[in-house]
Structure 1
């Protein structure tokens, strides 16, 4: 049986992953719909820290890594908190704390924002990544390496 390749720069990797928060709750998983992720190391789809965790792993390897916020999704940026008028929200998408809503950008794309506070006519929306500031456990199972 040929020796399996180790993951290196430019490797094409198919893997299952689970992202968990420090309290053990699931943040994301490819196992939910049994749809493994496919990526190329170095293509920019994963942060350098996530890619570094994968380097050297081979087909069949299972490993768990814990990443601090600066190595995962970063710290929340206070400049990404915006105060909007409550009138900008509709009856179909009311401003309720905890809701994740899509906001249109000038280029036509949508950006998700989390409603953090509603006070009178002011709504505070957080446009940071939802996992910013979180310690993340990254569990991986390598299915193939090419």
Structure 2
């Protein structure tokens, strides 16, 4: 049987959990995730997990922070004046927003603190700093 190699297009069902067992994502009830193996379209640990698998194979992989979304970076927590928000917007903790940088890149941020004059925004990936566990099933190659 054909084994996954770098450059193969693969279709994978998965169930992603935190180390405490909390599910953060799953392909259940959806089409399998499709990506090109070894092309950095998914996190490193997930990419490496499918290498060598054959269609129908299932496995559980533990992916450390360094092969997932990396450690939390305190430099990615930013303070913004409340006056920079639209007048009709009431910032609230947990609210997700889109921000842009000087190069035109857009990235998600989450409001983590609201003060009288400022709002703290966190641009870390929500899973940064977390070890992840994935149940993976290789549906097909190609």
C-alpha distance in structure 2 between counterparts of 1:61 and 1:91, whole Å: 54
Q: Secondary structure at the match of 1:35?
A: coil
RMSD: 1.8
Cα–Cα, structure 1 residues 90 and 18, in superposed 2: closer, same or farther, change >3 Å? farther
Matches within 5 A, 1:41-80: 41-80=37-76
Q: How many residues align?
A: 142
Q: Does 1:16 align with 2:8?
A: no
Q: Does 1:138 align with 2:137?
A: no
Partner of 1:25: 22
* Range with greater deviation from structure 2 (116-125 or 82-91): 82-91
Does the CA contact (< 8 Å) of 2:55 and 2:140 recur in 1? yes
Give 4+ residue runs of structure 1 displaced > 6 Å after superposition. none
* 1:105 Cα deviation from its structure 2 partner: 3.4
Partner of 1:40: 36
Unpaired runs of at least 5, structure 1? none
C-alpha distance in structure 1 between counterparts of 2:98 and 2:59, whole Å: 34
C-alpha distance in structure 2 between counterparts of 1:100 and 1:132, whole Å: 16
Does the CA contact (< 8 Å) of 2:40 and 2:47 recur in 1? no
Partner of 2:77: 81
C-alpha distance in structure 2 between counterparts of 1:48 and 1:22, whole Å: 18
Q: Does 1:113 align with 2:109?
A: yes
